[in-house]
Structure 1
């Protein structure tokens, strides 16, 4: 239809019907652009957040088994980090995996059931220990690159749920709020992830601090910083909920 209209118009044979149809299609394209929720995702690299809730009586055994055998899983794809919840959740672990694209993830997942050592030494033993498992797929936001802290510390995962509309609605205000926290210097930003599959309108922000006390002291200073207060006040207009968790990296975690 669109090609036919263009051909008619280019030949100068513009009828009232053709002009009307062309105008309708143009308005439709403009309307779609107006309702777009953000720029096209160019980077295909994706991050898989896997959260396991472990039976309380088996957490110690689960941790020991993971410390001894998780290297078997790491041989298949890149592990960004692995943490145990210290605050904000009990008997839970989080690991984040990096994949080039969905085809890469599928290829890796298809090989895991055939890894006999991984299945026998780990999977068959931990399955009875797991109460619940959650998986989310996310992308790094365009203005953030994944950072690796220079030394060991603790991590804070802040999960934000925003009002529907996507980054086109809340992106700039949220970016400004993140930037002001970074500029205070009390904490280090590791990554900002926008969820694609899982709970939508959610952003996961991963921070690093030297320890829990330095994080607490920095937060108090930030709350007294007029720049932080102003930026946060602007961004919370789009916020539905927020949840914080203090995470301790596992001995085998690439992010320590």
Structure 2
């Protein structure tokens, strides 16, 4: 073995010993980026994370740039039709309707709730599919959009109950695609993190996907304006513990993006 090769091995050995010594420190920065081990469980993740018998549907529509007015009229007419159905009026409810201001332009999001879960969704689909006025509106909408996507969601049990807003507000939806198998870890951390974000009542809703794109999380926040959003988010970093929650959840994310939303005129939450 050459002298240079021997010196190289000695150097690597010293680095390994130094690394292993410092990594035993519980406050080492590495402890904040490694995902903690999740124990196996015989209970479904959805039941552990959500205790509400309500299923939400999130419709994401990309409408044609020249058809926004006609598209929103179509959605409003569809909402009125659903409300007119006595068998659906108490169980099916539009929670929020928005158009995207910052993010994917020419896009709208509509959040519906179904009291009674998937059984009520099945019932609603059967009733509406046989309604000629509804199918006419659905076909008409197809000519006004470029694409449509639907997800069924459950609400995180640790988020505050959804409270409809009045006045003039903007909304931010932060969407995360998580690594498979990390939803419980996400919930464990955000159950603590949400306590740092309720001082200004900005937490609107938190969901995780059940059907559609899986391991998706959506957090929806409400702010008076963009400046209020900035001040609120900056104040969260001054709360002890917020930085740790962020450090633990970042490694769980495969992809994330945010959109700034404006309520439509017929949105129940403004």
Find out whether 1:54 has 2:68 as its counterpart. Answer: no
Partner residue of 1:243? Answer: 257
Map 1:30-49 to 2 at 5 A. Answer: 33=41, 37=45, 39-40=47-48, 42-49=51-58
Q: Matched residues in 2 for 1:37 and 1:102: separation? A: 17
Q: Structure 1, residues 66-123: CA drift from partner, whole Å, max 9, x if none?
A: 3455322344421111111111111111111111211111111111133333344x33
**In structure 1, the residue corresponding to 2:265 is in which secondary structure?**
coil
1:118 aligns with 2:134: yes
Would the aligned equivalents of 1:38 and 1:167 in 2 still touch at CA under 8 Å? no
RMSD between aligned residues: 2.5
Which moves more between the two structures, 67-76 or 124-133? 67-76
Q: Which residue of 1 aligns with 2:211?
A: 197
Q: In 2 relative to 1, CA 225–32 (structure 1 residues): closer, same or farther, beyond 3 Å?
A: closer
| Deviation of 1:248 (Å) | 1.0
* 1:1-150 equivalences in 2 (<5 Å): 33=41, 37=45, 39-40=47-48, 42-67=51-76, 70-75=79-84, 76=88, 77-99=92-114, 100-120=116-136, 122-150=137-165
Q: Does 1:177 align with 2:193?
A: yes
Quick check: 38-47 or 230-239, which moved more? 38-47
| C-alpha separation in 1, matches of 2:43 and 2:140 | 49
In the TM superposition, what is the alpha-carbon distance from 1:231 to its structure 2 partner?
A: 2.5
Q: Name which of structure 1's ranges 172-181 and 220-229 shifts more when overlaid on structure 2.
A: 220-229
What is the TM-score with the length of structure 2 in the denominator?
Answer: 0.73
- Does structure 2 retain, via aligned residues, the 8 Å contact 1:67–1:250? no
Secondary structure of the structure 2 residue equivalent to 1:70: helix
TM (normalized to structure 1)? 0.76
Corresponding residue SS for 2:127? helix
Match of 1:14 in 2: none
Structure-2 change in CA distance of 1:141 and 1:104 (3 Å): same
Task: Check 1:147–1:34 CA distance in 2 against 1; reply closer, same or farther (3 A cut).
Answer: closer
Q: CA deviation at 1:62?
A: 1.4
1:215 positional shift: 1.2
Unpaired stretches in structure 1, ≥5 consecutive residues:
1-30
